[in-house]
Amino acid sequence: MTGPELKQLRSDLGDAIGKSLSAADMAKLCGLEGGGADTIRRWEISGPSGPAGELLRILAMASDRHPILDNFNVFDRHNIPERERPARREEFREKMRDEVRRRLG
């Protein structure tokens, strides 16, 4: 994830949960403490690395603007009727939004 992608993610997650997110909010999502907002601002230039980048890729699925990652996509399996797949995808995204809200406190 690049810095500009992280900036876009902040906007996309804010839209998904109906609340504008600050750098401090993004730091909370990543589990950063203390000067976490400063770290987020640096990452918005250089991009996050390691576990934080992976966590943000997962949380990005809360937004309709980001794809559901292949290892989470259980909806396109043969045992799920096609007519149920859109509802199940939306249910999954709503659970991801709830996770974002929970992490924000």
Q: What is the pLDDT of residue 70?
A: 83
Number of CB atoms found within 10 A of residue 60's CB: 23
Number of CB atoms found within 10 A of residue 47's CB: 15
Q: What is the pLDDT of residue 76?
A: 73
Tens digit of each residue's pLDDT (9 = 90 or more) over 12-37: 999 999 999 999 999 999 998 878 99
Return the domain boundaries, the chain. Answer: 3-104
List own/partner pairs for 34-43 with CB under 8 A and 24 or more apart. 40/6, 43/3, 43/6
pTM given for the model: 0.88
Tens digit of each residue's pLDDT (9 = 90 or more) over 35-72: 899 999 999 999 998 899 999 999 999 999 999 888 88
